[in-house]
Chain A
Amino acid sequence: MNFKLKDIGPQLMTVIAVVLVFGFFTYNAQVNMENRGIDFGYGFLSQESSFDVQFSLIEYDGSHSYFRAYLVGLLNTILVSVIGIILATILGVLVGIARLSPNYLINKFAAFYVEFFRNIPLLLQIFFWYFAALRALPLPQDAEAMFGISFLTIKGLFVPAFIWENFNIFFYSIVAAIVAIIVIRIHAKKVQETQGKQIPVLLISVGLIFILPLLSFLIGGVRLSFEVPVLKQLATTSFIYEGGVSLPPELIALALSLSLYTATFIAECVRAGIQGVGKGQKEAAASIGLTQNQVLKLVVMPQALRIIIPPTTNQYLNLTKNSSLAAAIAYPDLVLVFAGTALMQTGKAIEIVSITMFTYLSLSISISLFMNWYNNKIAITEK
């Protein structure tokens, strides 16, 4: 036995303190709920919600359950996060590269962008875009068409909808293309390792991803047509576009400000990553006769990505968590729909706040677990 009082003492004290605090809280919660006549339970999730949500990806109205409302909120959160992540990544990578440009003007322009957007609170930016900038857009009847098919108005962005015939064949063709590319990559790697020959994987992949879906159009019977939004008069001065897909201004403002804000952080990650690859690495690669492209592809990028990816994932997580600011401009995300409206209606504070927090928590933890695994996998094993 090597238990010592010295070791057990502090731990025991901490545990007792934690247990006491939690016990105090639960005891009070029980007393309070008894006094107010609230009973604890998650049964309300299957009850009828009887409130409407402005914007929803799945079919939903007041007759659906609270659980369905939760799903609507969750999907809306995921939607805005995915849009934000894509835009932020594109912008962030561009700005990060621009920060390293030898061109003085581009360099300073990118630096100005980063310093400007990074130092202004995100909530203020969301308010700015939603209440000030997007309010300056034209009314539906005055809007000019962009490329003849999309309309950016004060009531949102109206874009054409895709109408597919035999969509599943098209989908399978893309899946088949991806599977084929993965197989070819593995094969190419094996060939490279055993015979030293290089197969132009990139060319083949690009070809596959275009040709297979094209084939599905030609012989698979896939048809694609567009439903262009059309202006419709509701009353003498009230117009709206019908048909197509409409993106509400809340979504646009939120996605725009989230991506503009997060892109500044991603840009810094990208810059740090590329700068983090030592000059000697590039020189060494060049001195063994690799071409400029090969140096970038085989030496610089793999090392830079190791530095870039972990903090960038962190930024993606931040973006997802920040998307909860949607509640401030009434975009129906998880917090607004569930922790806002549903909580008001049911009064089940503990249950609803805990579900909301648990959702975000499981999202974060699963991504960070994945990242830890990935980090360990790609970490350079030093001798």
Chain B
Amino acid sequence: MSKINFLKPDKSNLYTFLYLGSFLFFVSVLDVLLNSFFSLNLTGFLPGFLSFLLPLILGFIGLYFIRIELSGIKQLDLLNKHINTNNFNAVLSLLIIFIILKSIPPILSWFFIDASFAGDSKDVCTGTGACWTYIKVWMRRFMYGMYPNGEQWRINLSFIALALLGSVGYFATDRFKKYLTLYYVVIYPFIAFLFIFFFISGGPVFFDFSYGIIAAILSIIIGFFIPSKFKFYYFLIVPFALYVLLKYFIFYEELIELGKLDGLNWVETGAWGGLSLTFIISFFCLIFCFPIGMAFALGRRSGFPLIRYISIGFIEFWRGVPLITVLFMSAVMFPMFLPADFFIDKLVRCIIAISLFEAAYVAEVIRGGLQALPRGQYEAAKSLGMGYWRMHIFVILPQALKLVIPGIANTFLALVKDTPLIFVVGLLEIVGMLNLAKTNPEWLGFAMEGYVFAAIIFWIICYAMSKYSYNLEQKYKTDR
């Protein structure tokens, strides 16, 4: 057996180095593992500093020994390529392995092992872990804010109905696919508006507008059977006709009675809150900011100087100020600009403010897409005799929007993440409700649980959105 040079691992003594190296490596990992999971200190007999560094040193030497190029063993080569390319990387890899091993036990015990799930009062939370009972007890408040418990089915029902209506696109056959844009851009937001303002809010005007909802839904259902030739005129006339018919001729008395039987109470917007408010605000701001942003993006690229300067001014103004000051403005300054007897609800003011704010960002993103299109597209459209609007609607915008899907998705993500700021005007969505709950004298000291809970919810929403946008991007990717 040839002499082994320990300073230079090589292939000729492959197995000696492999066994020795992996042994040292596993000893070091085992030491940390035992230390963190079972609080055993194998190296406790050594002086403090050395005992602390020993796993790192052992692991480093171990990794050094097994760093043999082209060893012929597949797993070893993979390991070397991915975590053990050189000394520096070896140390970093070891550190990360140790950090993960060290942090798993405390996180696990806080989240699950020592946490309390049962019960419905603070007394059960005596352990060192999280108190999920707190979340359980406050769940309704976190989800629905101050909305009365007995009425919360209205929010649930509206959201389920809207989710079902929103998923129509997945089930539409090819014949109806071309109307989906119209549906999602015009009809669906309108239905959502009716649902939220007159079902969730249940205001005094509910009865009047329930006809609108029925008319809209009925006309959409019938609309599927209308030949495409007449569809445009159909949607222009029939919903309105249905509404008038319902309101003034048929079922009048019966529907009023029905409405009264339901007896939906009015819930003022100040009582709305929690996650449902986050959804409502995000939904409407998303719907409103897109067309406004598109208009200003086109305005900024318009050939008319005055329109261009107005658009630039608008966009740069909103992009230059923080959202919190915009909300401040909507709360304290905006009412001064309206006639004294003209009152706009706090929530509506908020939605307007956030929509305008995000519209400026959407405008810049869309402008990027418009600029990225080659001139030839414009020229080709013009040479076909298309006017400004036809050119943009049928040629330019479909391509430009496809290009900017990631940017738009980022803006929408920012919008969702900005909704907690509405605490400025006194509306409390989930983060605001958390802050309220943590000051409740009966439930002091559970701030951490609340924030972790909200963070998980937001993380899931945002991560799902970004993954969805990535899928969309892949789906609409077209080669040029």
CA distance A325 to B322 in the complex (A): 9
Q: Contacts A105-B92, A131-B447, A356-B325: A365 and B316 contacting too (C-beta < 8 A)?
A: yes
Q: By the criterion CB–CB under 8 Å, are A28 and B328 in contact? A: no
Q: Inside 8 A of B463's CB, which chain A residues have their CB?
A: 115, 119
Tell me whether B304 and A124 are in contact (CB under 8 A): no
Chain A CB within 8 A of B196 CB: no
Is B82 in contact with A124, judged by CB distance below 8 angstroms?
Answer: no
A105 with B447, Cβ < 8 A, contacts A121-B417, A121-B458, A364-B320 known: no
B328 touches A335 (CB 8 A): yes
**Known interface pairs A116-B459, A119-B458, A350-B333. Does A124 touch B307 (Cβ–Cβ under 8 Å)?**
no
- Min Cβ gap B377→A in Å is 21
Of the candidate stretches B69-77, B136-144, B210-218, B335-343, the one touching chain A is B335-343
**CB of B96 to closest CB in A, whole Å:** 5
Q: For window 301-336 of chain B, which residues contact chain A by CB distance below 8 Å?
A: 304-307, 310, 316-317, 319-325, 328-329, 332-333, 335-336
Q: Does A289 contact B (CB under 8 A)?
A: no
Cβ contact within 8 Å between A324 and B89: no
With contact pairs A25-B337, A335-B322 given, residues A325 and B421 touching in the complex (Cβ less than 8 Å): yes
Q: How far is the CB of A164 from chain B (nearest CB, A)?
A: 36
Q: Is the C-beta of A360 less than 8 angstroms from some C-beta in chain B?
A: yes
- B322 is contacted by which of A131, A350, A360 (Cβ under 8 Å)? A360
Chain B 344-361 interface mask (CB, 8 Å, partner A; 1/0): 000000000000000000
- Check if A105 sits within 8 Å of B333, measured CB to CB: no
Cβ of B361 to closest chain A Cβ, rounded Å: 11
Smallest CB gap from B99: residue in A? A109
Which residues of B have CB within 8 Å of A11?
A: 304-307
Q: Which of B83, B306, B333 contacts A104 (CB 8 A)?
A: B83
> Which residues from A are CB-within-8-Å of B81?
102
Chain B residues, CB < 8 A from A354: 333
- A375 at the A/B interface (Cβ < 8 Å)? no
Q: How far is the CA of A28 from the CA of B342 in the complex (A)?
A: 11
* Main SS class of interface, B: helix
User: A35 within 8 Å of B by Cβ?
Assistant: yes
Are B333 and A109 in contact, CB atoms less than 8 angstroms apart? no
Closest to A343 in B: B332
Nearest B residue to A25, CB-CB = B337
Q: Bin chain A's interface residue count.
A: 35 or more
How does the 8 Å CB contact mask read for B435-477 relative to A, with 1 for contact and 0 for none? 1001000000001100110110011001100100000000000
A127 touches B418 (CB 8 A): no
Contact A104 B451 (CB under 8 A): no
Residue B276 at the chain A interface, CB threshold 8 Å: no
Let me know if B320 and A365 touch, CB within 8 A: yes
Question: Would you call B447 and A102 a contact (CB within 8 A)?
Answer: no
Give B458 Cβ to nearest chain A Cβ, in Å: 5
Residues of A within 8 A of B423 (CB): 123, 328
CB-nearest residue of chain A to B464? A119
Number of A-B contacts (CB under 8 A): 157
Interface residue A2 (Cβ < 8 Å from any Cβ of B): no
Measured CB to CB, the nearest residue on chain B to A347 is B332
Q: Are A103 and B306 in contact (CB under 8 A)?
A: no
Decide if B340 touches A31 in the complex (CB within 8 Å).
yes
Contact among A10, A133, A327 for B307, CB-based, below 8 A: A10
User: How far does the alpha carbon of A266 sit from the alpha carbon of B323 in the complex, in Å?
Assistant: 21
Q: How many whole Å from B410's CB to the nearest CB in chain A?
A: 10
Partner of B336, one of A103, A119, A350: A350
**Residue interface mask B216-251, A partner, CB < 8 A = 1:** 000000000000000000000000000000000000
CA distance A28 to B304 in the complex (A): 31
Contact B324 A349 (CB under 8 A): no
Q: Would B307 and A121 count as touching, CB distance under 8 A? A: no
* C-alpha gap A124/B324 in the complex (Å): 15
Interfacial chain A residues near B316, Cβ < 8 Å: 365, 368
Is A321 engaged at the interface, CB distance under 8 Å to the other chain? yes
Q: Looking at the assembled complex, report how far the CB atom of B40 sits from the nearest CB atom of chain A, in whole angstroms.
A: 25
Q: Within the complex, what minimum Cβ distance (angstroms) separates B78 from chain A?
A: 9
Closest-CB distance, A96 to chain B (whole angstroms):
16
The answer to the question of A357 belonging to the interface, with a C-beta cut-off of 8 Å to chain B, is yes
A1 part of interface (Cβ distance < 8 Å): no
With A105-B92, A357-B329 as known contacts, state yes or no: A120 contacts B324, CB within 8 Å: no
Contact A123–B420 (Cβ < 8 Å): yes
Contact A128 B451 (CB under 8 A): yes
Q: Which residues of A contact B447 (CB under 8 A)?
A: 127, 131-132, 135
In the complex, how many angstroms separate the beta carbon of A335 from the nearest chain B beta carbon?
6
Asked if B431 lies at the interface with its beta carbon under 8 angstroms from chain A, I say yes
Measured between beta carbons, the chain B residues less than 8 angstroms from A123 are: 420-421, 423, 431
Q: List 6 A-B contacts (CB under 8 A).
A: A11-B306, A25-B337, A32-B337, A104-B83, A106-B96, A353-B328
Sample of 5 more A-B contacts, CB < 8 Å, known A26-B337, A325-B421: A120-B458, A123-B420, A124-B451, A128-B448, A325-B324
Question: Chain B interface (Cβ within 8 Å of chain A)?
Answer: 81-83, 85, 89, 92-93, 96-97, 304-307, 310, 316-317, 319-325, 328-329, 332-333, 335-340, 413, 416-421, 423-424, 431, 434-435, 438, 447-448, 451-452, 454-455, 458-459, 462-463, 466
